[in-house]
Amino acid sequence: MIDMKWMGDKVPNFGPRVRYGKKYTPSVIVCHISAGTIGSMDNWFRNPAAEASSHFGVGRDGSIHQYVRLENAAWTQGLTADAIPNARAPIVKQMGVNPNLYCVSIEHEGYVEGHMDENGQVVVENFGLDGNLTEIQFWKSCWLHKYIQSEVERIWGHHIQFGPQYDLGHFQIDPKRKSSCPGKNFPWARLYAELAIAETMDLAAYEERIEYRISGAADFTHAYAAAARVQDLENKLGDNTWGPAAESKLLQLAPIMPQINYQGVLTGKGIAFRIAELYQTLSANSPYSAEALRKLLIVYNHMITTGLL
Ligand SMILES: [Zn+2]
């Protein structure tokens, strides 16, 4: 079971999905980045002076908080009158009313934090303010999309089609003021690809898939780290300064190449090609994904022991 915590009892910031007597059906999902921790989100939405809320928040640890019932309009899109004509999303112009009336909003916890290093210098660390979700946060957000789709279908009989048309970022609604929400690294391509898979299943079947993915979330993170590092080295191969060092680093993977079924020439390029191929197989969710993951974890472990990661 995926857990979700109801946090809405003390949240006053919402209204009805009604304007001039017309009732609106939730039909668009909007992703946001919170620019604060999930704890600060909890407090902010309870504060009447904030005049802000969201239906859901997803923490970097994968926790899901719900603040506003789907039947109500959360105050998330922070709209001013000139935003609608400037909106990038066609649906927003087409609807022509405050998007809060027909949107369901998901905040994702993302923030930066500063601390002093040993030399007294301030070091600012980015915890996803740029839209880089943690692995578990990504999967929980995918589950939440499916949950919303299935609830809207149950309550209103309306099917929200997943994809770029009805699944927006805040920047598409308000490009002027919210250009960095949910952040330049928000994983849109991955999200849409995953939601295309979610579209083919009911909530129960999809939840089972998510449980499985979450249990392997650390493995996926490691496989991704290995593939990203190899790609980074490959990008440096042609560089006059860094090329030779990148080549010799990639060649450190030569001893494990037989274990990952590579029979080609042992060059940096050849090794990088095989690892990129494994990563593509893993991401494609094909029948060979599990095997590709197993092999990438061999690469990862070898990179850790040799200091490449
Ligand atoms: Zn936003």
- Each residue's pLDDT tens digit, 178-227: 999 999 999 999 999 999 999 999 999 999 999 988 887 778 888 989 99
Residues 6+ apart with CB under 8 A from 290: none
Residue 45 or 176, more confident: 45
Q: What is the share, in percent, of the chain residues with pLDDT greater than 90? A: 81
- Tell me which residues have their CB within 5 A of the ion that is ligand 1: 32, 170, 181
pLDDT at 1: 80
Domain holding 96, by residue range, is 5-214
Residue 188's domain is classified under what CATH number? 3.40.80.10
Same domain, 160 and 200: yes
Pair (166, 223) in one structural domain: no
Is 165:75 a contact under the CB 8 Å cutoff? no
Domain count, the chain: 2
300 contacts: CB under 8 Å, gap ≥ 6: 222, 223, 225, 226, 309
Cα(74) to centroid(ligand 1), Å:
12
Residue 31 has pLDDT above 90, yes or no: yes
* 19 C-alpha to ligand 1 centroid (Å): 22
Beta carbons of 277 and 284 less than 8 angstroms apart: no
CA 159 – CA 110 distance, rounded (Å) = 29
Residues 285-295 have a mean pLDDT of 87
Query: Among 153, 187, 214, which residue terminates a domain?
Result: 214
Residue 27 shares a structural domain with residue 123: yes
Cis amide bond preceding 182, omega within 30: yes
- Same domain (yes/no): 162, 186: yes
What residues have CB less than 8 Å from 308, skipping those under 6 apart? 229, 249, 252, 253, 302
Residues 28 and 148 in one domain: yes
Distance 170 CA to ligand 1 centre (A): 5
Whether 126 and 260 share a structural domain: no
- The answer to whether 203 and 146 have CB atoms below 8 angstroms apart is yes
For 75-132, write each residue's pLDDT tens digit.
998 776 677 888 999 999 999 899 999 999 999 999 998 888 888 888 888 999 999 9
Q: Are residues 165 and 37 part of one domain?
A: yes
- Mean pLDDT within 175-179: 90
Distance 182 CA to ligand 1 centre (A): 6
Same domain, 151 and 257: no
**How far is ligand 1, taken at its centre, from the CA of residue 294, in Å?**
38
Q: Which of 151, 183, 214 is the last residue of a domain?
A: 214
Q: Are 137 and 191 in contact (CB under 8 A)?
A: no
| Å from CA of 299 to ligand 1 middle | 38
- How confident is residue 289, by pLDDT bands cut at 50, 70 and 90? confident
Query: What token pair was written down for 114?
Result: 């500063």
CB 48 within 8 A of CB 12: yes
Ligand 1 mean position, distance from CA 42 (Å):
16
CA of 91 to the centre of ligand 1 (A): 17
- 128 and 154 in a common domain: yes
CA of 78 to the centre of ligand 1 (A): 8
What pLDDT sits at residue 81?
A: 67
Please provide residue 72's backbone torsions phi and psi, each rounded to the nearest 5 degrees: -105, 160
CA of 92 to the centre of ligand 1 (A): 15
**Phi and psi at residue 22, to the nearest 5°:** -95, 130
Question: How far, in Å, is the centroid of ligand 1 from the Cα of 72?
Answer: 18
Please give the Cα distance from 14 to 68 (Å, whole number).
7
> What pLDDT is recorded for position 91?
94
CA of 32 from ligand 1 middle (Å) equals 4
Query: What is the CA(144)–ligand 1 centre distance, in A?
Result: 17
214, 243, 273: which is the final residue of a domain?
Answer: 214
**pLDDT digit string (tens) for 136-147?**
999 999 999 999
97 with 137, same domain?
yes
Q: Tell me the residue type at 106.
A: I
95 CA to centre of own chain = 26
**φ, ψ (nearest 5 deg) of residue 284:** -75, -5
Whether 54 and 196 share a structural domain: yes
* b/e code 271-305 from CB counts within 10 Å (16+ = b): bbebbeebbebbbeeeeeeeebbebbebbbebbee
Residue 219 burial (10 A CB sphere; 0-12, 13-18, 19+): middle
pLDDT over threshold 80, residue 277: yes
Residues 207 and 271 in one domain: no
Instruction: Give residue-wise pLDDT tens across range 239-260.
Output: 999 999 999 999 999 999 999 9
